[in-house]
Structures are given as C-alpha cells and as structure tokens.
Amino acid sequence: MRNRRLLFFLALTWPLLAAEGPFFVTYTHQMEEPGNLEVATRNVTGRPADGNRFFGITTELEYGVKAWWTTELYLEGQSTKHDSGLFTGYRWENRFRMLPREHWINPVLYVEFENVNGANRSLLEVVGHDGQDDLSGLNATARQEKKRELEAKLILSSHVRGWTIAENFIAEKNVRHAPFEFGYAVGVSRPLALAASPENCKVCWENFQTGLELYGGLGTHQTFGLHETSHYLAPTVSWALPNGPSFKVSPGFGITGQSAAFLLRFGVSYEISQVGRMWRKRQ
C-alpha cells in the first residue's frame, strides 16, 4: 500500500514542466536541444480481460548531448489494483541523427538497453507476440522474470506542410534467450494552427497538436507477421504551455483479440534549458 501511494505521488507531483510532439510510442527525428534536460512522465492505465486494472508509471530524463545525439534514462514502476506496486526496472536509450541536413525523410538510429522485470507495465512499445496475457499475472510471480534486452529502432520521419509523419521499425533481443522480436509504430500529427499569434497566449490553437498513432507487434524472426500479437490505434492530443509544462493524453483502442481493449495514456513534461551550462557555472 505504501509502495502504491509512493508511485502515485511520484506520478502526480513530479515537478514537470516542455514541448514535444503528441506521440507516446512513435518517435520522430526531433532531437533534444544540446544542453537541455527534459523531465517527463508517461503513464498508462488499462485492464486486461482476465486481470486487474494496472497503472504503469515511467519517469523520463532526456538530455541533449549533441545536436545529433540525445540520451535518455527511463525509470519504471507500476501499481495493480488488488495487488501491489513496485519498481520494475530501467532503460537507457540513445538516439543518433544519421544525416546532418533535413531531407524529405530523415533517419534516426535508436539503441536501447533495458533491464526490467516481467511485471513491467510501461508499454513503451509492442514487440513480438506481446498481448494482454502479459499484463495480467500476479506481480509477485511476474517480477521473478528478468528481461535484459537490447533494442534497436530505425526511426524515419518527415515534416510536410505542417504535418509530421513518422514510422518506426523495432527489433528487440533478450540477451540470454528468446528470438529476435519485431514491432512497429507509425504516427501522424499536426498543430491546430501553423502560424503563431503575436500575443502570448496559453489557450490558443498553436499550442495544441493532435495526432494518430498505430503501433503493434510483428512477431519474431521465426513467426514474422501481424497475427497473434496486439495492435493499437490511438488518437492523441498535446497542449504545450509557453515556457511551461506540456501535457498530452491518448486513449488507445486494441484492434485485435490479443490487445487490451482500452489503454489510457497521459503524460507531462518540462524542459530545463541549458542544464549543462548551469552545472558548469556552479562548479
């Protein structure tokens, strides 16, 4: 119970303050500005058909090392109704922009190491034959399963006439066993106004972005395909306060029998400018 309160406290009161796109799963080629630190939470709640409602909490620290290199640390936990709350592991990801100039399609290479347990409910991606069965076990049992995985993504994205279009191809490998697993995420988004208004405003169209994400598994190298895995369709909306926090929310609908029927994601983020410079000044 104390763990659960702590997790809710972390999720709801973290001093989150940044503007990024409305996606939760799909990445674009937008990198973190060098020296900036973004602090964010991405939370998800859902209820598998034969399990209890869960609340997955991910705290995200994203830092721009270079204009072409962004690194990110995720700390993950979850709480399940009628069960327990626990820390489920961490991920360390790095994104590299492959081409120095903007093109009609822009590739970014993503490399991640994750060390999580079987009770993880963050659902940052869907790979292999992931399904709602993976979301319904008892935490005490599921946490025994250790997952040390390497993950690579090819991120392709474009900005066309105000639209952002992104496609991600995911390959994941448990370092000890299990075959290569694959997944995908595609998304399209657009701000509600393309030109900025001359006044400072909080609730104006330019601060809102809407989008649509489609993501799911692609099986393994032995059983490649769209079948027997979960797929989700998720409209999404974000609201960025100027020089303040950014909020986003996305209801996701499972479109196969393996998917959870409904997932609700919500997140808050805040960008702290030039953290590296502030640190150096203090020293």
Instruction: Report the nearest approach of other proteins to the CB of residue 24 (Å).
Output: 17
**Whole-angstrom Cα distance, residue 175 to residue 150?**
7
| C-beta closer to other proteins: residue 11 or 40 | 40
Instruction: Report the nearest approach of other proteins to the CB of residue 150 (Å).
Output: 6
Type of residue numbered 211: G
Instruction: Report the nearest approach of other proteins to the CB of residue 251 (Å).
Output: 24
Within 8 A by CB and 6+ apart from 167, the residues are: 26, 155, 156, 157, 184, 185, 186
| C-beta closer to other proteins: residue 9 or 92 | 92
| C-beta closer to other proteins: residue 162 or 257 | 162
* Residue closest to 92 by CA, chosen among 68, 116, 123: 116
**Whole-angstrom Cα distance, residue 62 to residue 30?**
12
Instruction: Report the nearest approach of other proteins to the CB of residue 209 (Å).
Output: 10
**Whole-angstrom Cα distance, residue 182 to residue 91?**
18
Instruction: Report the nearest approach of other proteins to the CB of residue 145 (Å).
Output: 16
| C-beta closer to other proteins: residue 140 or 194 | 194
Do 23 and 189 form a contact (C-beta atoms < 8 A)? yes
Contacts with other proteins by CB under 8 A lie at 21, 28, 30-31, 33-36, 64, 66-69, 92, 94, 96-98, 100-102, 109, 111-113, 115, 148-150, 159, 161-162, 164, 175, 191, 194-200, 206, 242-243, 273-274, 277
Please provide residue 33's backbone torsions phi and psi, each rounded to the nearest 5 degrees: -65, 140
| C-beta closer to other proteins: residue 137 or 187 | 187
